[in-house]
């Protein structure tokens, strides 16, 4: 039996922390972002993600990793509760996620940190250099557009999703500079 509380607030309060934690309990590489769109809208997979440095999430993640004795690659999701401003843990995905290449574009190479640590090489110090850079799931957005049109959802929902696409810099399949 799992008992959970639904945290109020919109998608703009969903944050992600991508990490590699070593066997010593220390986070060797960390990257943070905010979800801008997901499908399904309330509890779903990322469609659009914005890199956003949040050092407080890294500290929270480090405490979590140490208390669990976790080591490895993980995507840890939080939601900031509007009632008290605290970040509440939603889930921990202890595996690479579909957009794991995005942190690398932002200066944090999580898979390389894991490789170095596991092979005995010195793990470089990574710094999240990109701020407000966007990643998009092209397949996910296309599916969402088709569903919106088929289900005759309000036009403002579709336009809100499309508005985010203007600022995309990194995509799951292609980049607009590819053309």
**Nearest Cα residue to 137 out of 156, 165, 111:** 165
Alpha carbons 90 and 35: distance in angstroms, whole number = 13
Q: How far apart are CA 104 and CA 6, in angstroms?
A: 32
pLDDT at 142: 75
d(CA 7, CA 2): 15
Pairwise CA distance, residues 63 & 54, whole Å: 15
Q: What is the pLDDT of residues 12-63, one digit of tens each?
A: 899 999 999 998 889 999 999 998 877 665 666 777 889 999 999 999 999 9
pLDDT of the residue at 179: 45
Between 11 and 78, the more confident residue is 78
Distance CA 25, CA 117 (A): 12
- For 139, which DSSP code? H
Lowest-pLDDT choice from 115-119, 127-131, 146-150, 152-156: 152-156
> Considering the chain, what is the average pLDDT of its residues?
84
Which residues does residue 37 pair with via DSSP β-bridges, in sequence order?
48
């Amino acid at each position: 039996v799992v008992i959970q509380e639904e945290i109020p607030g919109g998608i703009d309060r969903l944050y992600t922390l991508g990490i590699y934690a070593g066997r010593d309990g220390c986070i060797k590489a960390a990257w943070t972002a905010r979800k801008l769109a997901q499908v399904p809208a309330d509890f779903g997979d990322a469609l659009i993600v914005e890199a956003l440095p949040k050092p407080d999430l890294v500290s929270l993640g480090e405490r979590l990793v140490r208390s669990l004795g976790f080591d490895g690659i993980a995507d840890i999701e939080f939601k900031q509760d509007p009632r008290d401003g605290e970040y509440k843990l939603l889930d921990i995905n202890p595996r690479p996620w579909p957009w794991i290449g995005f942190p690398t574009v932002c200066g944090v190479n999580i898979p390389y940190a894991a490789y170095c640590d596991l092979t005995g090489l010195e793990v470089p110090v990574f710094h999240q250099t990109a701020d407000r850079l966007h990643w998009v799931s092209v397949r996910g957005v296309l599916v969402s557009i088709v569903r919106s049109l088929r289900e005759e959802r309000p036009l403002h929902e579709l336009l809100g999703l499309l508005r985010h696409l203007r600022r995309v810099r990194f995509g799951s399949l292609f980049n607009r500079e590819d053309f």
